Structure 1
Amino acid sequence: MTVSGSGDPVGAARWLARCALLAALAAVVVLLTALGGGGVLILVAGLAGLALSAVGVWWFLAHRGPLRLLGALLAVAAPVTVLTLYVVGGVWVNALVALALWGAALSCARSALRRPGVDGTRPMRGAPAARPAKPVLIMNPKSGGGKVERFGLVERAEERGARVILLDPSEDTDVAELARRAVAEGADLLGVAGGDGTQALVAAVAAEHDLPFLVVSAGTRNHFALDLGLDRADPSTCLNALTDGEELRVDLGTVAGRPFVNTVSFGVYADVVQHPEYRDAKAGTALDALPDLLQGGEGDRVDATVDGTPLDAQQALLVSNNPYATPDPLSTAPARRPRLDGGELGVIGIRVEGAVQAAELAVRGTQAAGLNVLTARRVEVTCDSGDGPLSVAVDGEALTLPAPVVCTLRPRALRVLVPRDRPGTTPPKPPLDWRRITELAFHRSSVH
């Protein structure tokens, strides 16, 4: 029986899981050899330093003035002090070896979870698509800092036989109505070069008439394009789908009757987006607003019912068109959805009651008690302070909607035309679950 190698990916995953556990155990043993002459105190100081650093991050985000400055200093000083203690205590060599072993354990664990047959994720498959005869593309010249002009998207689209409708930035245009008019005039494909919010509005019209939809990555972040495997660096390559494309069937979200392709956010993030200065200075606006919001000042908490499961008094709630692979709110890596055709909403709720829980969230990530991760077919959101309107961010657009706000999903409702030759999607890093690693290493039945 083959237990490892390329011919047996599950067997290879099993051995990688065992190597991960062995390396983690070795890291602990190396540290234990230093537990003499004050080594225990140094080890305890290391754990305390990690907790204090997490508390410092919370103070920096949730307060202003001197306490914010103190939080920044604490977040930096705690790990520096721990490193100094290791050097002075003479255990720096043990610490370096343990760190290397722990790095090897993490690498083996993640590799094991990525193996085919272990994570259960399969890439979306495209189907052959006919070349559209009368494609119509709606382009926003301001989107993405002027990508439409910078990449010559109008000219390149027209060269491929498309009719381009260029929006006037000085006017408030109903893009959904433009799309419906194009359909009435015989368009057999609709497309958008613009942000995800505009993409969603036109995508809903395309889905309504069962027409192919073309995504041109001319927005700022292009999250939808990212998960479709499109080239975000050069949006002009998306136009190749008009002459050599294939079709993906993907899900389309609905919130209070409005379509969304990425996420609907409530609570802290939605309140940040409501600030008028958000679009010009996103990071600065968020940093200035977070103290009031995290401490329950101007930001109301929200209650949600997720397919019958209650989530009460959440400070932040994110509902996504299909779940994210690694739902870690503190991760700096771009969030990715492995599939857009799974037929389920992803739900991430955060409820942090002070510095202790914030430290737990920083240290334990997806395993923290303050983080709720679910999937659902239907999510109903209300304000825990009453029946008043809710601040909502739909694909990054700030809205105010009457409660309750209901999110649902239309499975495989959208036909997306993508270039046959495109970068594709990179499998996201799976959540690191040591219980899963242990099961994989020793119990054959855990693999599916």
Structure 2
Amino acid sequence: MSRRWTARLALVTGLAALVVLVLFGGLASLLLMAVGWAGLVLTAAGVWWMLTHTGWIRVLAGMLVVLAPLAVLLLYSAAGLLWVVLASLALWALAVAAGSAALAEDGPGMPERSAERIEKPFLIMNPRSGGGKVEKFGLAARARELGAEVVVLDPERPQDVAELARRAVADGADLLGVAGGDGTQALVAAVAVEHDIPFMVISAGTRNHFAMDLGLDRQDPSRCLEALTDAVELRVDLGYVHEGEPGEGNTKNDGNTGNTGNTGRVFVNSASFGVYAEVVQSPAYRDDKAGTILEMLPALLTHAAGSRLTVQADELALDGPQAVLVSNNPYQKGDSAGLGRRERLDSGALGILGVEVSSAAEAAGLLLHGRQGRGLTAATAREVVVDADAPSIPVGVDGEALVLSTPVRCRIAPGALRVRVPRHRPGVPRAAAPMDWRRVRKLALTMGRAATGRGAA
């Protein structure tokens, strides 16, 4: 369907959502809308109180989270208008989805270059990643058939994957690749950058954020192996996280963490600070994730525990955010959560998301308004400095839990990594755009006139 007709669909279904509500709800439709908004606000407030309190207050807040939406549904049902509300919401959701799709634009995409011939590819595969995708899809055997040397990691004997990659390069490897999680991808990608050789991603992890933003097939990781035979090359950015003041000369190397002193630790996706980083550091987190989160959140969200962060990035300054995410290229603005995917990986800028919520009202606003909510800050920068009232802070780097000396500096290295990808791959979708009904209306009407010759001057 063309963008013009998609925009028209958005207008028609949006109007239909209002017509259904008013026609079948009558004057009661205004009351229904007010009740619905009130239910959302109470639910959001209940979530905030449940996360920031313990004991009987948490119990009452949990009851509010359950009872508020249930009461709204019962009121709708008692009025005989539940089907009206559900139908209107379904039509409105379709309208917003169609409008967003119509406004999405086909960007130029990341430039592709001809891939050089490779003679000795070296691949590292983690059999535990993604619930056993390496074995499920026969990745090791298939890669060997295509001429690659493959090392399948032993889950019972932890190995330094960066050192494995360096030895392979010393033995003549002219391509490094990983079938595993994003953290492992980052460690080996750093070695590929050191030696300026291509890097290959095999989407065998659980979430595969990096693979997704490269346009690779996440459902069938074996298709990524096509990069060994029919490939193009992309130049993408890398994020680096450094600990301590610049020029301190810290040259420690802690093996699997990938710290190499002043060169920093590479991240292909993100470095997270604050609540999430603090929680995953807890020894109890691995055995009881939900319980650990509920136990630690009240103190962390209210600044009764954990470090108080400050963030400086160009003109942006944040004082006391509960959570900060620094990403290798910004996430799409059209995504309500801001964490769906990145439009490209070669913009030369870090993405910054900071969460600073101090009350139930701000929590409700964040739920209702998403990225436009008062408690969420989104920006871009070439360098981000995160400091704290402590000599060291927990940092989550591509899912790996680290503790780094403050201040922690994140920077972007434009075009640092050569990534070899299959010539034919699912690809990155159109760049998402914030919903704008005026633009949707203009797109539906103006393009229609132009198509029939009426839009000419």
* Residues 85, 150 of structure 1: alpha-carbon distance in 2 compared, 3 angstrom cutoff: closer
Distance in 1 (alpha carbons) for counterparts of 2:24 and 2:158: 63
Deviation of 1:435 after TM superposition, in Å, equals 7.5
- Structure 1 residues 43 and 234, CA, compared in 2 at 3 Å: closer, same or farther? closer
Q: Provide the C-alpha distance between the structure 2 equivalents of 1:14 and 1:90, rounded to a whole number of angstroms.
A: 33
By how many angstroms is 1:185 displaced?
1.7
Question: Any conservation in 1 of the 2:312–2:386 contact (CA below 8 Å)?
Answer: yes
Aligned pair partner of 1:374 in 372, 379, 383: 379
Distance in 2 (alpha carbons) for counterparts of 1:329 and 1:400: 31
Relative to structure 1, the CA distance from residue 260 to residue 242 in structure 2 (aligned partners, 3 Å threshold; closer, same or farther) is same
Count of residue pairs the alignment pairs up: 426
The residue number in structure 1 matching 2:351 is 346
Matched with 2:42 is 52
Inter-partner Cα distance in structure 2 for 1:237 and 1:278: 35
Between 407-416 and 230-239, the greater mean CA deviation after superposition: 230-239
Partner of 1:79: 69
Is the contact between residue 17 and residue 89 of structure 2 (CA under 8 Å) also seen in structure 1?
Answer: no
Work out whether residues 335 and 432 of structure 2, in 8 Å CA contact, stay in contact via their aligned partners in 1. no
Q: After superposition, where does 1:213-232 map in structure 2 within 5 Å?
A: 213-232=199-218
Q: Using a 3 Å threshold, how does the CA distance of structure 1 residues 349 and 276 change in structure 2: closer, same or farther?
A: same
With the length of structure 1 as denominator, give the TM-score of the two structures.
0.84
Q: Which amino acid aligns with 2:402?
A: L
Say whether 1:308 aligns with 2:342.
Answer: no
Deviations 1:74-108 (A, max 9, x none): 22321221232234345556545643553354234
2:112 & 2:277 partners in 1: Cα distance? 34
Q: By how many angstroms is 1:210 displaced?
A: 1.5
**Residue of 348, 353, 370 corresponding to 1:365:** 370
Q: 1:155 aligns with which of 120, 141, 153?
A: 141
Quick one: structure 1 residues 288 and 125, their matched pair in 2 at CA, closer, same or farther if it must change by over 3 Å? farther
Equivalent in the alignment of 2:221: 235
Alignment of 1:288-307 (within 5 A): 288-307=295-314
> Is it true that 1:275 corresponds to 2:265 in the alignment?
no
Are the aligned partners of 2:334 and 2:433 in contact in 1 as well (CA < 8 Å)? Answer: no
1:140–1:82 distance in 2 versus 1, CA, 3 Å? closer
Q: State the alpha-carbon separation in 1 of the partners of residues 441 and 300 from structure 2.
A: 39
One of 374, 385, 393 as aligned partner of 1:390:
393
- Across the aligned residues of Structure 1 and Structure 2, the Cα RMSD in angstroms comes to 3.1
Letter in 2 for 1:365: G
Q: Secondary structure at 1:76's aligned position in 2? A: helix
Pairwise CA distance, 1:408: 0.8
Q: CA deviation at 1:245?
A: 1.8
Residue identity over aligned pairs, in percent, reads 55
Gap change, CA 1:278 and 1:31, over 3 Å in 2: farther
1:34 aligns to 2:27 (yes or no): yes
Contact 2:51 2:297 (C-alpha < 8 Å) held by counterparts: yes
Moved more, 196-205 or 231-240: 231-240
Structure 2 gaps, min length 5:
243-263, 448-457
- In 1, Cα distance between equivalents of 2:397 and 2:153: 21
2:403 and 2:334 map into 1 onto residues whose CA distance is: 25
The CA deviation at 1:122 is 3.7
Name stretches of at least 5 consecutive residues in structure 1 with no aligned partner: none
Q: CA deviation at 1:43?
A: 4.5
Matched residue type, 1:407: C
**Does residue 63 of the first structure (1) align with residue 53 of the second (2)?**
yes
* Greater displacement, 429-438 / 165-174: 429-438
For residues 167-212 of structure 1, what are the alpha-carbon distances to aligned partners after superposition, in whole Å with 9 as ceiling and x for unaligned?
3444443322222222222111011122211111111111122111
TM-score, normalization by structure 2: 0.82
Q: Structure 2 CA distance, aligned partners of 1:131 and 1:416? A: 14
Deviation string, structure 1 residues 212-265 (Cα, Å, up to 9, x no partner): 101122222221112112222333322221112221211111111111100000
| Equivalent AA in structure 2 for residue 274 of structure 1 | Q
State the match for 1:178 in structure 2.
Answer: 164
